[in-house]
Structures are given as C-alpha cells and as structure tokens.
Amino acid sequence: MATIAYLRVSTSKQDVDRQEVQLRQYAEKQGFSVDEWVRVTASTRKSTADRGLDALLDQLQAGDRLLVAELSRLGRSLSQVVRIVEELISRGVGLHSLKEGMRLNGEMDMTAKV
C-alpha cells in the first residue's frame, strides 16, 4: 500500500510548500509516511492529463491512499471532483482531503455517497 500526496498550484508565482507542510504534519499525526510527492503547477482549466492526474490515477492501485490539502486541488468544478473521487473509489483507492476533513477508505460507503 502506497501513500501518494498530490500538491497543485495554479501558477509559477505560487508554490506548494504550505500544502506540503500540512500534508507532512497530517501524515505524521495519523502515523504513516508519504511514499511519493506529486508536485504540479497547472491551472484547473488545463486537462487532467496536463495536471498530472491521468498519470497519477493510472499509477494508483487498490489499497493505496491519496492525500490532498483540499478537494479543489483535484478539479475546478464539483462535478469534476466527484468524477475523480468516483474513479478513486472504483479503483479501491483511499482519499484523505485535509481541508474538508474527508477520509474515504476506497469503498462506496455512506461517507463516500454523501
């Protein structure tokens, strides 16, 4: 089981440092470490391929865990985020989103449906 952190900012004038600190502290508090850090500079207006999400989704396997600082890092609209979360669940991948306090275990349980 791998834990992968996905950090994204929209422009080169921003950096992912704050997200990384938050995710490191969260992982430490939860008692696990991050195996891989995916750092991306791309607007959500870009395609999921340009934002590195397609490659990331291809890499993730059942039992893996994806960490994000907030769901908006995954997509621009609610429908886009929902599609990505559904994809993660269908692959059996857990998702932890710090800002929303969301911890999905990779199964379509009541929390995921909400």
What are the residues facing 4 on neighbouring strands? Answer: 36, 66
Does the annotation mark 90 as catalytic? Answer: no
Shortest CA distance to 7 belongs to which of 30, 31, 34, 41?
41
Q: What DSSP line would sit under the chain, residue for residue?
A: --EEEEEEESSTTS-SHHHHHHHHHHHHHHT---SEEEEEE--TTS-TTTTTHHHHHHH--TT-EEEES-GGGT-SSHHHHHHHHHHHHHTT-EEEETTTTEEE-SS--HHHH-
Tell me which of 10, 33, 79, 90 is the catalytic residue. 10
Known catalytic residues? 10
